[in-house]
Structure 1
Amino acid sequence: MKNKKRIALFGGSFDPVHTDHFNMAKACHDELNFEEVWIIPTFLNPFKSSTKTSNEERINLLNLIFENEDYIKIDKFEMNNNRVTTTFETVSHFKKMYPQNDFSFIIGSDNLNRLEEWNNFDELINMVNFIVFERNDVYKKEVAQKYNIPIYQFENNFLSSTKVRELKNLNLLTPKVNNYINYHLLYLESRVKPFMDKKRYEHCLNVGEMAESLAKLNQIDPQQAKVAGTLHDITKRWDTSKQIEYLNKYDKTLLEEPKPVWHSYTGAFHLKYDWLINDESIINAVFNHTVGCEKMSVLDMIVFCADKISKERDYENVELYREECFKDLKSGFIRLLINQYETAIKVHGKDSIGDKLIKTYNYYVKGEK
């Protein structure tokens, strides 16, 4: 009789998938000699109230991280059910559909804490072997002992999807996964929304939309512009001490600029060093969105303008500025720059508006090179 093919089933939210998920799957293949590992993303975990991203985005990330692993199969069985699917249902389905295979089920050791609460557990524990990887040393070891479940080690970075969503340990995340998350603005509700009031958050979303529209007219990647626009005020609500901390750490000379523009610089540093955004065009656009600089890029101008003409803005002549920006970006940028310069001098006096605004004005308006 032909030996059954050994398949490890790996279910979870994968919201997002990260390096430890990858390493557990690889350990099953390379060290435990499973011929294949089938990744089964949930529609919704029975112990969670929601996922943070769409099914499509989670599938895209799974395909990205496992793109070179030919022993991996990504199966949408639970997603296609469009409801909570228990592990008992999933295992039953695969054993019925593929009786020629020998299935095991992968879990992290943290799942042992509630394993006996799983639906139809008494049947499940006799239906499939569990492969448990030790995620940390705090878990119900007695459950593993009770059911003779082996505990395996793997290359553990002690990552979690929650940590990734909260910008923790991103240096341990697969770079292409992190780049995808940043470029598609995933997890804004965890990374941005809690740190600003509703009005500021809505402004950021509006600026992202406006930047995207302007980019389409000016042959710039619309998503790149949307990212820079949406994240332009990422540190706007940081307190003064945190602003100073970042400026001291990355460029002390910027402390000489007016305090109201500090957030453009700390925002750029935060995105570069904490979010690990490696697109310098986006970083520069955030850096320059308040008072600009000499030799602005097209993306710089787009975000500068989008910030000042976003759809909720209702100051005098804003409609004229919007019209001009959509007709001719550079002309609209210069008109907005003139307005900002004149308003700043009127309110604060020329000695208090900062060198960068003066240099930008002199370069674009007075033609000083």
Structure 2
Amino acid sequence: MKKVALFGGSFDPIHTDHINIMKSCKKDLKFDEVWLIPTYLNPFKLISTSSVNQRLEMIKIAIKGLDFVKVKTYEISKTVRSYTYDTVCYYKKKYPNINFSFIMGSDQLDKFEKWDHFKNLIKAIDFKVYKRSDTYNNEIINKYNLELFEFENNFISSTEIRNLEKLNLQIKEVNDYINYNLMYLYERLESRMTQERYFHSLNVGRYSLELALLNNCDLNKAFVAGTLHDIAKEWDYDEMNEYINLFDKSLLKEPKQVWHSFVGSFHLKKDWLIDDPVITSAVFKHTVADKDMSVIDMIVFCADKISYERDYFDIERFRAVVKADLKMGFKELLKRQFEFAKLKNGVENIGTKLLEAYDWWVTNDN
């Protein structure tokens, strides 16, 4: 009789330990197939932090090449809370000639007896438990005579991935998908920036997208860079100092007010694992620019200065110029930035980066 492992979960997002458990099901437990069953909403969670389509796309990326894994949308397509008992009954009735087992992680043991229709469920199907950590509810294991298995464990969780932890252990292609779709953005930023800064960042992302459409360049990269441009804006200077010391100590000579642009770029490389130079360059240059400015560099620089919530004298003229001629608008905004910095801090405190950019683009009119 065909042996199939039912593996349910939120998979929000799917990660390497999920994949390693599935591989163990095939290699060690000798299942013919693993049926992955993403839930629409875990009964013990109030909300999912990603869309159904996004989770399915991440799963598709993660299981590429694993022919024994099949994705089943029975639960996720119901758009209501999902219960394991209903799923087990559905598949056992539909496929009476398949020997099913249900896969769970040891982290679920504490709530195991609270699962819906538990008394019927524990009789309906055999459970295989994978050891997710060194501490687990051994009392439940013994009480229900459950089998506990080990696997190639990275000891990571979806919660950690959402919170920018252990990304070096995550599936790179899934991490790239998350970054390029700005998933889990609010929970990654809520503790690091004010609501006002957060909405400014969203506005700059939207404005960058609008300018990218006008200038026929990569929409997604402009949108991501614009949205993340101020990611380090409200960090304390001690933390910024650590990143600059790690990546480029010469930048410590620049005014502290512009450190966040450099640190934001370094943070995206180091902690988000964004290795796209187009995005990290635009974040790096969005405050004081540079002699070498790509179209997306200019877009994010300008979008930051004229985003939707900005309101200062002559801003509509700046917006009109930028939309009509990006390079000309960039030069005008760079000139405004230079004059503002000179007025506020004095010409001797402007900083090398802004001075070089101003001389190249405005004084020498390149």
Same-fold call, TM cutoff 0.5: yes
Which of the residues 110, 113, 125 maps onto 1:113?
Answer: 110
2:202 corresponding residue in structure 1: 205
Task: Please report how far the alpha carbon of residue 295 of structure 1 lies from its aligned counterpart in structure 2 after TM superposition.
Answer: 1.7
Task: Please report how far the alpha carbon of residue 76 of structure 1 lies from its aligned counterpart in structure 2 after TM superposition.
Answer: 1.0
Task: Please report how far the alpha carbon of residue 368 of structure 1 lies from its aligned counterpart in structure 2 after TM superposition.
Answer: 7.4
1:160 corresponding residue in structure 2: 157
Percentage of pairs with the same residue: 49
The residue type equivalent to 1:97 in the other structure is K
Which of the residues 242, 266, 283 maps onto 1:286?
Answer: 283
TM-score by length of 2: 0.98
Which of the residues 353, 362, 366 maps onto 1:365?
Answer: 362
Q: Does 2:178 align with 1:181?
A: yes
Distance in 2 (alpha carbons) for counterparts of 1:237 and 1:295: 27
The residue type equivalent to 2:134 in the other structure is D
1:264 corresponding residue in structure 2: 261
Which of the residues 327, 332, 338 maps onto 2:329?
Answer: 332
Task: Please report how far the alpha carbon of residue 18 of structure 1 lies from its aligned counterpart in structure 2 after TM superposition.
Answer: 0.4
Distance in 2 (alpha carbons) for counterparts of 1:248 and 1:235: 15
Q: Does 2:4 align with 1:19?
A: no
TM-score by length of 1: 0.98
Distance in 1 (alpha carbons) for counterparts of 2:346 and 2:116: 69
For structure 1, the 5+ residue unaligned runs are: none
Task: Please report how far the alpha carbon of residue 359 of structure 1 lies from its aligned counterpart in structure 2 after TM superposition.
Answer: 0.4
Task: Please report how far the alpha carbon of residue 144 of structure 1 lies from its aligned counterpart in structure 2 after TM superposition.
Answer: 1.1
Task: Please report how far the alpha carbon of residue 194 of structure 1 lies from its aligned counterpart in structure 2 after TM superposition.
Answer: 2.3
Distance in 2 (alpha carbons) for counterparts of 1:146 and 1:33: 25
Spell out structure 1 runs of 4+ moving beyond 3 A: none
2:249 corresponding residue in structure 1: 252
Q: Does 2:268 align with 1:237?
A: no
1:37 corresponding residue in structure 2: 34
1:354 corresponding residue in structure 2: 351
Q: Deviations over 1:291-340 (max 9, x none)?
A: 00002011100100010010000011111111111111101100101111
Distance in 2 (alpha carbons) for counterparts of 1:160 and 1:251: 33
Distance in 2 (alpha carbons) for counterparts of 1:98 and 1:336: 66
Distance in 2 (alpha carbons) for counterparts of 1:336 and 1:346: 15
Q: Deviations over 1:202-223 (max 9, x none)?
A: 0000000000111111121111
1:317 corresponding residue in structure 2: 314
Task: Please report how far the alpha carbon of residue 5 of structure 1 lies from its aligned counterpart in structure 2 after TM superposition.
Answer: 1.1
2:67 corresponding residue in structure 1: 70
After TM superposition, list the pairs within 5 Å mapping 1:216-227 onto structure 2: 216-227=213-224
Distance in 1 (alpha carbons) for counterparts of 2:114 and 2:310: 52
Q: Does 2:172 align with 1:169?
A: no
Q: Deviations over 1:116-151 (max 9, x none)?
A: 111111111111111110001211112111211110
Distance in 2 (alpha carbons) for counterparts of 1:276 and 1:108: 27
Q: CA RMSD of the aligned region, Å?
A: 1.0
Distance in 1 (alpha carbons) for counterparts of 2:181 and 2:116: 35
Task: Please report how far the alpha carbon of residue 243 of structure 1 lies from its aligned counterpart in structure 2 after TM superposition.
Answer: 1.0
Distance in 2 (alpha carbons) for counterparts of 1:216 and 1:251: 34
The residue type equivalent to 1:327 in the other structure is A
SS in 2 for 1:295: coil
Q: Does 2:127 align with 1:130?
A: yes
Which of the residues 81, 85, 88 maps onto 2:82?
Answer: 85
The residue type equivalent to 1:230 in the other structure is T
Distance in 2 (alpha carbons) for counterparts of 1:97 and 1:189: 41
Distance in 1 (alpha carbons) for counterparts of 2:183 and 2:232: 18
Distance in 2 (alpha carbons) for counterparts of 1:96 and 1:221: 49
After TM superposition, list the pairs within 5 Å mapping 1:92-111 onto structure 2: 92-111=89-108
Distance in 1 (alpha carbons) for counterparts of 2:58 and 2:82: 21
SS in 1 for 2:99: strand
Q: Deviations over 1:156-189 (max 9, x none)?
A: 0000000001110000001101111000000011
SS in 2 for 1:214: helix
Distance in 1 (alpha carbons) for counterparts of 2:3 and 2:197: 53
Which of the residues 142, 146, 149 maps onto 1:149?
Answer: 146
The residue type equivalent to 2:133 in the other structure is N
The residue type equivalent to 2:309 in the other structure is E
Q: How many residues align?
A: 366
Distance in 1 (alpha carbons) for counterparts of 2:31 and 2:187: 36
Task: Please report how far the alpha carbon of residue 193 of structure 1 lies from its aligned counterpart in structure 2 after TM superposition.
Answer: 2.4
For structure 2, the 5+ residue unaligned runs are: none
SS in 1 for 2:339: helix
SS in 2 for 1:9: strand
Distance in 2 (alpha carbons) for counterparts of 1:189 and 1:340: 29
The residue type equivalent to 2:315 in the other structure is V
Distance in 2 (alpha carbons) for counterparts of 1:62 and 1:316: 49
